[in-house]
Structure 1
């Protein structure tokens, strides 16, 4: 079986703030910007990985979701309790400095982990945790 990751999804509550962060701070390129039924999906990705997209979607992107479910998802997002994404980088310290200097909310400064990476963590504007890891074994 030959399978590869195509897209991953991150819930965001403000697409314009998310776009400014993912495009302008992280340097990801915008690949798609789609509106449908009052919702918006932005697809961004690394120029180094043209076949992998990160979709910035509304919390609970389901037109049939109940108001109570939408409220519950918005509350989880606001608390930063939804899962985020791990990125790889060739220089964790430089990546950390760039994101911090652009105003990124620091969760963890660069740290050597026992599982073979040096990583750091931030929250995106919606509260999702993003980790940036540099392999120490290469």
Structure 2
């Protein structure tokens, strides 16, 4: 068994696609129209055949309270591995990305948390 897709609820699929590709550097993998929404996925350019991140519409009634609770508590919904959190933080900050947690060492891991502008907090992390 392996993970092929992971869903991330987003307020606006087009805005999310722009942020995840133009800012974070992911690549669009799939875009299939499904009425008012799309099956829309992005992948890491480092693993184009790896796990796909589904930019899922957030219109289900359970999504808003769930995401609001996570944001209020400062809990990121998912985490992305980067080579160097401090360097990635500097690159993304220069692009206007808002961080809710600056690079922070936690034992062997360094993390930072960003606002994806689409309703989620996202953690970036690196070892060492």
- TM-score normalised by L of structure 1: 0.79
Structure 1 contact 8–54 (Cα < 8 Å) conserved: yes
Deviation at 1:35, TM superposition (A): 1.8
2:54 is aligned to 55
Greater strand percent: which structure?
A: 2
Shift of 1:4: 2.1
The secondary structure found in structure 1 opposite 2:119 is coil
Whole-angstrom distance in 1 between the partners of 2:114 and 2:22 = 15
Please give the TM-score of this superposition, normalised by the length of structure 2.
0.85
Runs of 4+ in 1 over 6 A off after TM superposition: none
Pick the aligned partner of 1:132 from 120, 124, 128.
124
Aligned counterpart, 1:122? 114
- What displacement does 1:80 show? 6.4
SS of equivalent to 1:93: helix
Superposed CA deviations along residues 44-68 of structure 1, whole A, max 9, x for unmatched, are 01011222110101015xxxxxxxx
What root-mean-square deviation, in Å, do the aligned CA atoms of Structure 1 and Structure 2 show? 1.9
Which ranges in structure 2 are unaligned for 5 or more consecutive residues?
none
Larger Rg belongs to:
1
For structure 1, the residue ranges without an aligned partner over 5 or more in a row are 61-69
Residue in structure 2 matching 1:84, options 70, 77, 102 = 77
* Equivalent pairs, count: 123
Which of 63, 81, 95 is residue 73 of structure 1 equivalent to?
Answer: 63
Paired position in structure 1 for 2:32: 34
1:17 equivalent among 8, 15, 24? 15
